[in-house]
């Protein structure tokens, strides 16, 4: 064995049990009650600790062009931060440049990632922005390359029209791919934004006020209606509102294959953050909503209707957030979170809000299953040895100084967590050790994924 983790409590999405775990050639080779007889020079004692699969963050934006700048974490900085928070695979939303085929976008981003040198493994979803030149005829070749999910935005200047979204859904069925959607009503939020601007209402609060609950809820229902009409699977990203939760829950009850992702910031903050002096730092789309939505999201996490937790990691530097101090329209949308997701959810499990197996399910097993990452997401013999050792007794307070992103501030400043990852392994290699990144630039590889056919 190259590594044996002894005396820990293994957590799967179904159960927790005491066992030893052996790693050989980057894969989990054996899980058994007692591996003390196996020869190994690297034995880690995990007495009193939990041994978990590394998390999969299925929603990040690395070096993402937005609002006149580019998000501040590239593939190295973002994956370094991920590793230090127990996340061993990140998905990037790679945006199609005008005229590019979907495979060209994927290959361009793969080259950019290789240049940055990811610290843990990564996968790519491609965001579809331009359907001209029979773009959808190129979907199959991207799927064949291992890019089996695509995204449409119903908002932003790079978003698509409803008819284009519908065609993308049609094609996804043919190609065995999954469509992810950012669902908000662009027309209504644009109108509200213009009305507020005309009245001089431009503080960060009006970012929320121009995108209140129904702006997302209506779009969620519209997206589901088209998926229903085609019997196509659909993955709704960053769910933030009660209306949307209710719509997805009803769709699931109908038997539709509709997946719901939410993010830690929607589970922790309400729209009140936009009234804070640093409210601009919280500006992301969709914005955090009222307490009712936060409660509805937690209920859906607990009863199983939220399928995945992801971060929408898209940090911008303080000076860039400051562009919109007095005009929310100038604030680049997005926040850092990739290092905080697993510690936050595991801390909730440690407090008894959800179980540890449920935390593993929504942060690792489900994203692996939904997105065809067949070698990831669980502590099972034969899978990649992406492992987190978690100390449930370690108290940790988030400060900018103990984060590992290139972002110069964090919306999670001062958050007190009960329990924290102490080691992270990526394919059996130690990448995070007690507060320090100990991985290597360029270690991470592109994960090519299975199609749904």
Residues that bind ligand URP (CB under 6 A): 61, 182, 284-285, 312, 314, 333-334
Q: How far, rounded to the nearest angstrom, does the alpha carbon of residue 118 sit from its chain's CA centroid?
A: 16
Provide the minimum distance between the beta carbon of 332 and ligand URP in the complex, in angstroms, as a whole number: 8
Cβ–Cβ < 8 Å for 370, 259:
yes
- Alpha-carbon dihedral of residues 63, 83, 146, 230, nearest 10 degrees? -80
Give the closest residue to 8 by CA, choosing from 313, 187, 23: 23
Nearer to Zn ion, 74 or 312 (CB): 312
Residue 184 touches which member of Zn ion, ligand URP, none, C-beta under 5-8 Å by kind: none
- Alpha-carbon dihedral of residues 347, 349, 350, 356, nearest 10 degrees? -120
The span from the CA of 412 to the CA of 443, in Å, is: 28
Provide the minimum distance between the beta carbon of 98 and ligand URP in the complex, in angstroms, as a whole number: 18
Provide the minimum distance between the beta carbon of 263 and Zn ion in the complex, in angstroms, as a whole number: 9
Radius of gyration over every alpha carbon of the chain, rounded to an integer in angstroms: 21
Nearer to ligand URP, 186 or 325 (CB): 186
Provide the minimum distance between the beta carbon of 181 and Zn ion in the complex, in angstroms, as a whole number: 9
Nearer to ligand URP, 334 or 419 (CB): 334
Annotate 394-410 with three-state secondary structure.
EEEECCHHHCCCCCCCC
Nearer to Zn ion, 22 or 287 (CB): 287
Nearer to ligand URP, 134 or 319 (CB): 319
Provide the minimum distance between the beta carbon of 399 and ligand URP in the complex, in angstroms, as a whole number: 23
Residue 427 touches which member of Zn ion, ligand URP, none, C-beta under 5-8 Å by kind: none
Cβ–Cβ < 8 Å for 301, 276:
no
> Footprint of Zn ion on this chain (CB under 5 A)?
182, 312
CB atoms within 10 A of CB 170: 15
What DSSP letter does each residue of 248-302 carry, written as one string?
HHHHHHHT--EEEEE-HHHHH--GGGGGSTTGGGG--SSPP--HHHHHHHHHHHH
Residue nearest to Zn ion (CB): 182
CB atoms within 10 A of CB 1: 19
The span from the CA of 246 to the CA of 216, in Å, is: 12
Nearer to Zn ion, 287 or 419 (CB): 287
Residue 243 touches which member of Zn ion, ligand URP, none, C-beta under 5-8 Å by kind: none
Residue 334 touches which member of Zn ion, ligand URP, none, C-beta under 5-8 Å by kind: ligand URP
Provide the minimum distance between the beta carbon of 350 and Zn ion in the complex, in angstroms, as a whole number: 28
Nearer to Zn ion, 4 or 180 (CB): 180
Residue 333 touches which member of ligand URP, Zn ion, none, C-beta under 5-8 Å by kind: ligand URP
Provide the minimum distance between the beta carbon of 71 and Zn ion in the complex, in angstroms, as a whole number: 10
Nearer to ligand URP, 18 or 161 (CB): 161
Residue 118 touches which member of Zn ion, ligand URP, none, C-beta under 5-8 Å by kind: none
Residue nearest to ligand URP (CB): 333
The backbone torsions φ and ψ at residue 223, rounded to the nearest 5 degrees and listed phi first, read -60, -40
Which three-class secondary structure state does DSSP give residue 157? coil
Provide the minimum distance between the beta carbon of 68 and ligand URP in the complex, in angstroms, as a whole number: 14
């Amino acid at each position: 064995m190259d590594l044996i983790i002894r005396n820990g409590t293994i957590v799967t999405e179904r159960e927790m049990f005491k066992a030893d775990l052996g790693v050989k050639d980057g894969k989990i080779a054996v899980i058994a009650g007692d591996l003390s007889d196996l020869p190994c020079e690297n034995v880690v004692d995990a007495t009193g600790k939990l041994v978990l699969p590394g998390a999969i963050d299925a929603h990040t934006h690395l070096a993402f062009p937005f609002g006149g700048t580019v998000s501040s974490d590239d593939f190295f900085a973002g994956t370094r931060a991920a590793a230090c928070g127990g996340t061993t695979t990140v998905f990037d939303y790679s945006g199609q440049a005008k005229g590019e085929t979907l495979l060209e976008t994927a290959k361009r981003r793969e080259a950019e990632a290789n240049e940055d040198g990811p610290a843990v493994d990564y996968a790519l979803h491609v965001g579809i922005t331009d359907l001209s030149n029979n773009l959808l005829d190129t979907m199959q070749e991207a799927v064949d390359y291992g890019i089996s999910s695509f995204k449409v935005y119903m908002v932003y200047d790079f978003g698509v029209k409803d008819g284009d979204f519908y065609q993308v859904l049609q094609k996804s069925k043919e190609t065995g791919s999954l469509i992810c959607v950012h669902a908000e009503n662009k027309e209504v939020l644009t109108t509200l934004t213009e009305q507020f601007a005309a009245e001089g209402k431009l503080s960060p609060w009006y970012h929320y006020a121009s995108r209140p609950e129904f702006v997302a809820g209506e779009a969620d229902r519209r997206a589901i209606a088209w998926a229903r009409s085609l019997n196509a699977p659909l993955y709704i990203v960053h769910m933030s509102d009660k209306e949307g939760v209710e719509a997805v829950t009803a769709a699931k009850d109908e038997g539709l294959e509709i997946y719901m992702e939410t993010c830690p910031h929607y589970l922790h903050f309400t729209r009140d953050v936009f009234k804070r002096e640093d409210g601009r730092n919280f500006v992301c789309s969709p914005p955090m909503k009222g307490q009712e939505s936060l409660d509805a999201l937690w209920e859906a996490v607990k009863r199983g209707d939220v399928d995945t937790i992801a971060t929408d990691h898209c940090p911008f530097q303080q000076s860039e957030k400051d562009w919109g101090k007095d005009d929310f329209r100038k604030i680049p949308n997005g926040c850092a979170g990739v290092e905080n997701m697993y510690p936050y959810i595991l801390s909730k499990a440690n407090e008894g809000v959800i179980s540890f197996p449920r935390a593993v399910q929504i942060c690792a097993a489900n994203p692996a299953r939904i997105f065809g990452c067949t070698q990831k997401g669980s502590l099972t013999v034969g899978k990649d040895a992406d492992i987190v050792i978690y100390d449930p007794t370690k108290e940790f307070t988030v400060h900018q100084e103990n984060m590992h992103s290139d972002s110069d501030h964090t919306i999670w400043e001062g958050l007190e967590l009960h329990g924290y990852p102490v080691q992270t392994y990526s394919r059996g290699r130690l990448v995070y050790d007690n507060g320090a990144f100990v991985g290597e630039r360029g270690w991470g590889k592109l994960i090519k994924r299975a199609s749904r056919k």
